Amino acid sequence: MAHTFRGEFNQKVDAKGRVSIPAPFRRVLEAGDPDWADGHRPRFVIVYGDERRKFLECYTISAMREVEAQIARLPRGSGTRRLLERVMITLSHSSEVDEDGRIVLPQKLRDKIGLSAEAVFAGALDTFQIWQPETYEADLVEAAQAELEALPEGADILSLLGDLPGD
């Protein structure tokens, strides 16, 4: 994968919901928008999903098209397709980065995750997440403990890559 979302960044959110996208993330958004060119605004999709989501998940246009194609291959009317359509398509918001490198997060999305004055942007390979800082820190600690407890004593975390199909 040539372009990945990597790292974590704390960003200020103003009263109107404007927040700067970290510069490295903007480059990935540009690369992932097939219609982007210099002087244009990169577009992307924010999935806010159902009530279980504690964060907003952001997809490049190309990545979202892949997800949409997978959903479209499911039988029409199937429960799985309806669930995925609702969570990934209906409960999403199309956005674009303005000329100052910012986006406006609608009030509904800010309320969903309890966002006010600051947001954490967390890279997750082909997507990035936007979190309320305290929720992010708590979830990070909880997930890390559970994941590390599942590893055998003294195991190198990279040993998990050996379990991939085709290895």
Mean pLDDT of 94-98: 96
What does the pLDDT look like over 16-30, one tens digit per residue? 999 999 999 999 999
* Alpha-helix residue ranges (DSSP H) falling in the chain: 23-31, 61-72, 79-84, 107-113, 133-149
Write down the pTM of the prediction.
Answer: 0.88
pLDDT for 147 = 77
What does the pLDDT look like over 122-164, one tens digit per residue? 999 999 999 999 999 999 888 877 777 777 777 777 776 775 5
Q: Do residues 67 and 74 make contact, with C-beta atoms less than 8 angstroms apart?
A: no
What are the residues facing 130 on neighbouring strands?
A: 56, 121
Give the single-character DSSP code of 14: -
Q: How far apart are the two ends of the chain, measured CA to CA in Å? A: 18
pLDDT for 1 = 46
Distances, alpha carbon 105 to alpha carbons 40, 43, 50, 72, 83, in Å: 20, 14, 17, 28, 24
Kind plus residue range of the DSSP H or E element containing 95: strand 92-96
Q: What percent of the chain has pLDDT over 90?
A: 76
Q: Which two tokens stand for residue 156?
A: 């190198």
